[in-house]
Every structure is written in C-alpha cells, then in structure tokens.
C-alpha cells in the first residue's frame, strides 16, 4: 500500500497545494481564470489589492477578476478539488492492510481481498461471493486490493464519488437543471426547479464531456498555432540579435572610418597651418636677414668712419672720405622692409557633424571679414508646377521659415520649417485654398504659441498657422500683400489700394494700431507692386523692399519716412539695375537686402548708407536670392529661387 501513499502525497503536493500559503487547500475557491486558492488567502488578496473591493488581479496570472459583495466567500467553490482532497485523504488512511468490513470483529480480523466502489466497503473472499449474488449489488464494481493503487481504480473512484447537495447534505445530486446549469438533488428539483427542465446528471455529464472534448480539439489546434507563433518569434528574436550585431558592426566600422577621416582631416589642417606659418616665417626670416645685413653694413661703415675721424692722418681722411660718404649715402637711401602683420588665421569649429565628410568638422579661414559658406540644403520643389522659393524668415525660436510659390497652381504653395542651422527639414505643410503668392512672418506669438502669419493677396485673406500647419485663425484683409512683425509681436501688413499702398500695424486680433501710406500704388496699368517687409531688430523701423521702384524705404513705427536707398550703383549698372526683394536686419541694426537681378546681397547701415556687398555670385548665389535672414547664432541664411538655402558665417 506504499504506492497508494506515495501517489496521494504527489497529488497533494502538485495539485492540492495553495501557491499563496504553501499548504493543502482549505475551502478552495476557483476564479474566472481557473486558478484556485484557499478562501482565506483569497480574502487577503481582495482586501489588499482590489479596487473598491470589487476588481482584483489573479495572484498567478494577473487576470482581472471580480469579487461579489461578500468577497472570497461568494466566489465559486472548486468542488473538484474538494473531492480530490477528500479522496487523497482517504487513500492516505489505507496504508495498512485493509480488513473485511462485514465479517471482522474486535477480536477477529479477516483480511480484505476486494473493495466495492459503489458501497465503499472492503470485502473478504466469502463476502465478495455473497455480494456478487445479491441482486441489488450484482452490478457493483469490485477491485482487488492489490489494484487499488492503479490508474484504472483511481479514475473509477473519481467517477463513482457521489456529490451531495450543499443544502440537503445527505441527499445526492442526481439531476442537472438545464436552465440554471447546475446539479441538483431530488428535493431541490421538487422545491426550486420543478418548472425547469432537468435531466439525469449522468446524461448531462456525457453531453458535456462531448462538448469538452470538442473544445479540447480546438484547443489543440490553437496550441499548434501558438507553438508556430512561438517558433516564429524565436526566429525573429534570433534575427533581431543577428541584425543588431550586424548594424552595430556597421556603426562601429563607420565610426572607425569617420575617426580615421577626422584624424586625416585634422592632420591636413595641421599641415595647412604649418605651410601657412612656414611661408609667413620665411617671409619674416628674409626680412629679418635683410635687416641684419643692413645693420651689419651700418655698424661696419660707422666703425670705419669713427676711426677715420679720430685716428687717420689728413692724407688718409681725404683719401677715404669719398668712399665712406658714398657707402653711407647708399645706406641712407634704403628703407627698412615693411614689417608684415601677423595673419589672423582662425579655426572655426563646425556646430554639427551632419556634414562631417563634407567639411563640417571645421575649416580654416582668414579673418578678413568675408563670409564663408558653412552649409547648404536644397528644398525639394515641384518643378513641373514651377514651384519656386519665394520668401524666407526666422522664427522666434531660431528656426528658418520658407514659403514657396507654385506658378501653375498656387493652391500647392507650401511652407517649410528648417532647423536653425538649415541642415534638415523639421516640418512642411501646404497652405489650403491659396490663390496667389504667399508672404509670411514667423515671429508672431499668439496665446504663448509661435505662429506663422500668411497672406493671400488675391483673396485678401490673412491666415495664422501654428508651426505644425494647423490653421488657428483667419482675417479678411482686402489686398493684403507683404507681412512682417515687430519686436512687440505686432503684425505689420502692407496692402494695395487704388490710390496708394498702405502699411498697417495691427494687434493680434486684427485691430489697426497705426496705418500710413507707402505710396506707389502701381504702374499706369494698375499692376500690383510686389514688396517685402521687415522690422529693424534695433529700433523697430519698418523696412519696405520695393523691387518695382528699385529702392528700399524705411519708416518709423508712426509712419515717418526716414530714408530711401537706391543702391547708388553699388553692384549694379544701368543695364543690370538694382532689384531688391528679401530684406532683414541684425541686432546691431545693419540692414541686409537681396538684389535678385545681380545676385548680390547689400549691407546697409541703420541710416540707409551702403556699407558693402556681403555676398555675390562668386560666393555661391547661383540663382536669384529671394530671401535673407540673420539666424539666432548670427549667421546669414540666404534662400535662392531654385530651392537652395545657404548658410554663411558673418562677423
């Protein structure tokens, strides 16, 4: 009987032990996820982890479970585990040789040879014969004592275990209520389920076994699907590992390549530095040698002349005077060599590494005040729609804002937002219902949000977008053309009228703060003049770039004309006149104006005086410069009509 005890112990350990208290189940309760726990253990779980004593996670699988009002007590009993527990305990009590329960007495014990599953009695050989002859017990199942530890007996023992009614504890549940889906005893059937359809519990069990078997077949198929998915996930995991190692290898290899190229580039720069300074040093050495020779000559003739005057005889003095005087005169006629200035050789560190292989590591330049191109990027324009870059500005955060114009279909006009170094496009979006060219200013803040103000001259509308391209508001403004914004966050709008063009200083609600005439309403045929606006960062003056009249005008905030700039021939000729368009200022008050006709950029003083041509064709202005802006880090950003945006260093 030792095998019976071992089997019972194994079942108790593997099946009937609560994972929470590590003891045999006491009042086992089964959750919706089919995990079972002691009632007392589950009560603690509900108290400490439930939400409003209602929802709680299963301690094993974390599935969401629901507790009834009486918490663990109201959760369904696991009657199967209760039965299994009772049978295991019964098996543990049969370790010794069983005796016949009918003919054994206190003094006399007769060893049992069989056990009746139906009567639950142990019988000796004689009692077994009688048991088989009695009509009422002829069909009972008898098992030999030596077979009680076998699998067949255990299975039949479970099947023959009677379920007693929890309400009528001595009455067996013989029926199954189809409506209530629960087993009932004869008394419950009569008292509570009389009008319900009830069938013999064996018949109901047979039907439900068939349903369970069908579900098990489907479950087996589902398992195959999940096993297949598991295998695929394993392949993916392996692939990810290989891919990660491959990519990391490529990254490490590229890093070594870049480091090697950086080292080589740094070496080249060092060599260039050496060459430049060696050339300067040779020049200085040559000049120094020349000076040394002259000083030696001066010292030599001085020494001879002094001795001649002190120690020579009259005849020697007369004889040597002409020769000494000639030598001294020759020295006096020579000038010292020009002392060269120390060259201002500088090294400028590139702010990013995106263009490392193209020179972004850094570059040498002579600090002579001329800009050097730091970076360039091309906006992808729709060539078939004749899209071209039209205007350029900088946002309050330093990003570069670009608007484009599609000649064939203005509805395709777009706005691009680049990072402040113009190395990548951060955002782009279309301007819906646009019917003509787009003008914009990016330095307007509304409700603590950076906004873009865009005008549609043909429809006479002003649109306000956020930097994601979401339309925030719109305003009717007939003949609205150019737009900018001043340091007070006030939009500046230029409109076209029948008599004259006007400039309006608005608040963010569209109210007019100040309005004044800009004159020059159009040519004799009434053609609308295209203009660009900007506001000085130093004094708030309103700047108007007027290409049709080939000039730049400056107004105070109140509309007083302060100056008119016409280039005075700087960078232009009668055959190639000055045609200004893009305009901006820096913090010092310098004004930068693009000349689209001559592909140059003028720098003016805050009073409109020409200072220099900052950029020309030779600096990379390959097409018409439509816009110019000073970025947040003091660099000049130029937008060309063919879509190129170029960034230049500027002092």
Residue in this structure with the two tokens 């053609």, named with its chain if needed: 527
pLDDT confidence band for 364 (50 / 70 / 90): very low
pLDDT confidence band for 463 (50 / 70 / 90): confident
Kindly report, residue by residue over 304-334, the tens digit of the pLDDT.
888 888 888 888 888 888 888 888 888 898 8
Residue 450 has pLDDT above 90, yes or no: no
Q: What are phi and psi of 571, to 5 degrees?
A: 75, 10
Residue in this structure with the two tokens 């002349």, named with its chain if needed: 305
Residue 561 has pLDDT above 60, yes or no: yes
* Mean pLDDT of the 462-481 span: 82
Query: Regarding predicted confidence, which is higher, 151 or 624?
Result: 624
> What pLDDT does 356 receive?
45
Kindly report, residue by residue over 502-534, the tens digit of the pLDDT.
888 888 777 889 989 887 645 444 444 567 878
Distance CA 438, CA 440 (A): 7
Residue 572 has pLDDT above 60, yes or no: yes
**What is the chain's mean pLDDT, rounded?**
83
> What pLDDT does 2 receive?
45
Q: Could you count the other beta carbons within 10 Å of the beta carbon of residue 545?
A: 23
Distance CA 87, CA 4 (A): 11
pLDDT confidence band for 643 (50 / 70 / 90): very high
Distance CA 304, CA 293 (A): 17
Residue 93 has pLDDT above 70, yes or no: no
| CB distance 67 to 53 below 8 Å | yes
Domain 1-96 classified CATH 3.40.718.10? Answer: no
Beta-carbon contacts of residue 456 (< 8 Å; ≥ 6 apart): 431, 433, 434, 435, 436, 438, 462, 463, 480
Strand partners, 377: 645
62-66, 255-259, 599-603: which range is least confident on average? Answer: 255-259
Distance CA 542, CA 247 (A): 54
Q: What are phi and psi of 246, to 5 degrees?
A: -65, -45
Give me the percent of the chain exceeding a pLDDT of 90: 27
Residue 126 has pLDDT above 80, yes or no: yes
* Burial tier of 434 (Cβ tally within 10 Å: 0-12, 13-18, 19+): buried
| CB distance 407 to 385 below 8 Å | yes
Distance CA 621, CA 638 (A): 9
| CB distance 33 to 42 below 8 Å | no
* Burial tier of 457 (Cβ tally within 10 Å: 0-12, 13-18, 19+): buried
CATH number for the domain formed by residue range(s) 373-648: 2.120.10.30
| CB distance 501 to 529 below 8 Å | yes
* Mean pLDDT of the 89-103 span: 73
> What pLDDT does 234 receive?
93
Residue 13 has pLDDT above 60, yes or no: no
Beta-carbon contacts of residue 475 (< 8 Å; ≥ 6 apart): 461, 462, 464, 510
3-state secondary structure of 200: strand
DSSP string of 322-348, one letter each residue: HHHHHHHHHHHT--PPPPPPPP-EEEE
CA 460 to chain CA centroid, nearest Å: 38
3-state secondary structure of 495: strand
* Mean pLDDT of the 603-624 span: 91
> What pLDDT does 366 receive?
45
> What pLDDT does 118 receive?
82
pLDDT confidence band for 462 (50 / 70 / 90): confident
Distance CA 585, CA 602 (A): 11
Residue 38 has pLDDT above 60, yes or no: yes
Distance CA 105, CA 99 (A): 10
> What pLDDT does 79 receive?
82
> What pLDDT does 310 receive?
84
Give me the percent of the chain exceeding a pLDDT of 70: 87
Residue 482, token pair as written in the block: 């150019």
Q: Find the helix or strand (DSSP H, E) in which 270 lies.
A: helix 201-311
Residue 629 has pLDDT above 60, yes or no: yes
Beta-carbon contacts of residue 164 (< 8 Å; ≥ 6 apart): 170, 171, 172, 173, 185
Output the CA torsion 502→505→507→511 (10° steps). -40
> What pLDDT does 524 receive?
44
9-13, 165-169, 371-375: which range is least confident on average? Answer: 9-13
* Mean pLDDT of the 626-640 span: 88
Residue 360 has pLDDT above 60, yes or no: no
| CB distance 446 to 467 below 8 Å | no
3-state secondary structure of 315: helix
Nearest to 502 by CA among 511, 490, 493, 489: 493
- Indicate the domain borders of the chain: 1-96, 97-147, 373-648
Strand partners, 612: 603
Residue 10 has pLDDT above 60, yes or no: no
> What pLDDT does 363 receive?
45
Distance CA 564, CA 578 (A): 13
Query: Regarding predicted confidence, which is higher, 11 or 208?
Result: 208
**Length reported for the chain:** 651
Q: Do the strands 373-378 and 644-648 form a parallel or antiparallel pair, or are they unpaired?
A: antiparallel
Kindly report, residue by residue over 130-175, the tens digit of the pLDDT.
999 998 888 898 989 888 777 777 777 777 667 788 888 788 889 9
| CB distance 459 to 467 below 8 Å | no
| CB distance 112 to 124 below 8 Å | yes
| CB distance 176 to 184 below 8 Å | yes
* Mean pLDDT of the 379-407 span: 86
Q: What is the DSSP letter of 595?
A: E
Strand partners, 348: 363
- Listed in order, strand segments (DSSP E) in 507-624 are 512-520, 532-535, 542-546, 551-555, 561-565, 580-585, 591-595, 600-604, 610-615
């Amino acid at each position: 009987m030792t095998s019976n005890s071992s089997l019972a112990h194994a079942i108790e350990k593997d099946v009937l032990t609560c994972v929470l208290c590590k003891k045999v189940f006491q009042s086992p309760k089964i959750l919706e996820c089919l995990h079972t726990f002691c009632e007392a253990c589950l009560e603690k779980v509900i108290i400490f982890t439930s939400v409003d004593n209602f929802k709680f996670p299963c301690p094993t699988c974390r599935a969401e479970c629901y507790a009834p009002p009486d918490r663990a007590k109201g959760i369904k009993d696991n009657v199967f585990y209760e039965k299994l527990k009772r049978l295991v305990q019964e098996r543990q009590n049969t370790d010794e040789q069983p005796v016949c329960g009918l003919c054994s007495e206190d003094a006399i014990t007769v060893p049992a040879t069989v056990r009746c599953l139906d009567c639950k009695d142990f019988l000796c050989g004689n009692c077994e014969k009688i048991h088989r002859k009695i009509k009422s017990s002829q069909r009972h199942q008898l098992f030999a004592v030596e077979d009680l530890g076998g699998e067949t007996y255990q299975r039949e023992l479970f099947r023959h275990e009677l379920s007693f009614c929890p309400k009528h504890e001595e009455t067996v549940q013989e029926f199954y209520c189809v409506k209530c889906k629960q087993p009932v005893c004869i008394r419950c059937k009569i008292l509570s389920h009389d009008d319900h359809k009830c069938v013999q519990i064996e018949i109901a069990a047979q039907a439900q076994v068939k349903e369970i078997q069908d579900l098990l077949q489907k479950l087996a198929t589902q398992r195959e699907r999940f096993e297949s998915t598991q295998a695929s996930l394993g392949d993916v995991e392996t692939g990810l590992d290989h891919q990660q190692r491959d990519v990391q290898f490529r990254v490490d290899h590229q890093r070594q390549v870049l480091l090697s190229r950086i080292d080589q580039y740094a070496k080249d720069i060092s060599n260039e530095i050496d060459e430049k300074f060696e050339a300067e040093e040779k020049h200085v050495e040559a000049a120094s040698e020349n000076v040394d020779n002259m000083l030696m000559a001066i010292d030599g003739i001085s020494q001879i002349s002094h001795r001649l005057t002190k120690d020579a005889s009259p005849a020697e003095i007369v004889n040597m005077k002409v020769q000494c005087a000639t030598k001294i005169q020759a020295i006096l006629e020579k000038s010292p060599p020009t002392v060269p200035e120390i060259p201002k050789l500088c090294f400028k560190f590139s702010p990013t590494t995106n263009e490392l292989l193209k020179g972004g590591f850094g570059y040498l330049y002579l600090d002579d005040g001329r800009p050097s191109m730091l970076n360039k990027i091309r906006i992808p324009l729709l060539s078939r729609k004749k899209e071209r870059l039209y205007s350029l500005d900088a946002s309050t955060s330093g990003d570069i804002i670009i608007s484009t114009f599609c000649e064939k279909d203005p509805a395709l006009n777009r706005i691009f937002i680049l990072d402040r170094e113009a190395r990548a496009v951060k955002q782009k979006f279309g301007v819906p219902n646009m019917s003509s060219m787009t003008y914009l200013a990016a330095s307007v803040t509304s409700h603590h949000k950076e906004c873009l103000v865009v005008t549609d001259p043909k429809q006479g509308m002003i649109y306000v977008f956020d930097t994601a391209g979401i339309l925030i508001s719109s305003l009717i403004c007939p003949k609205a053309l150019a737009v900018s914004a001043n340091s007070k966050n006030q939009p500046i709008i230029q409109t076209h009228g029948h008599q004259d063009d006007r400039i309006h200083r608005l608040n963010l609600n569209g109210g007019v703060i100040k309005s004044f005439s800009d004159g020059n309403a159009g040519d004799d045929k009434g053609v609308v003049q295209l203009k660009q606006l900007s506001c000085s960062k130093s004094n708030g003056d309103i700047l108007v770039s007027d290409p049709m009249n080939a000039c730049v005008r400056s107004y105070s905030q109140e509309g007083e004309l302060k100056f008119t700039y016409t280039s005075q021939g700087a960078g232009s000729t009668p055959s190639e006149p000055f045609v200004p368009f893009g305009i901006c200022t820096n913090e010092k008050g310098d004004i930068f104006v693009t000349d689209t006709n001559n592909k140059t950029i003028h720098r003016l003083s805050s009073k409109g005086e020409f200072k220099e041509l900052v950029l020309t064709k030779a600096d990379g202005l390959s097409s018409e410069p439509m816009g110019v802006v000073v970025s947040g880090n003091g660099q000049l950003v130029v937008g060309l009509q063919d879509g190129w945006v170029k960034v230049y260093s500027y002092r």
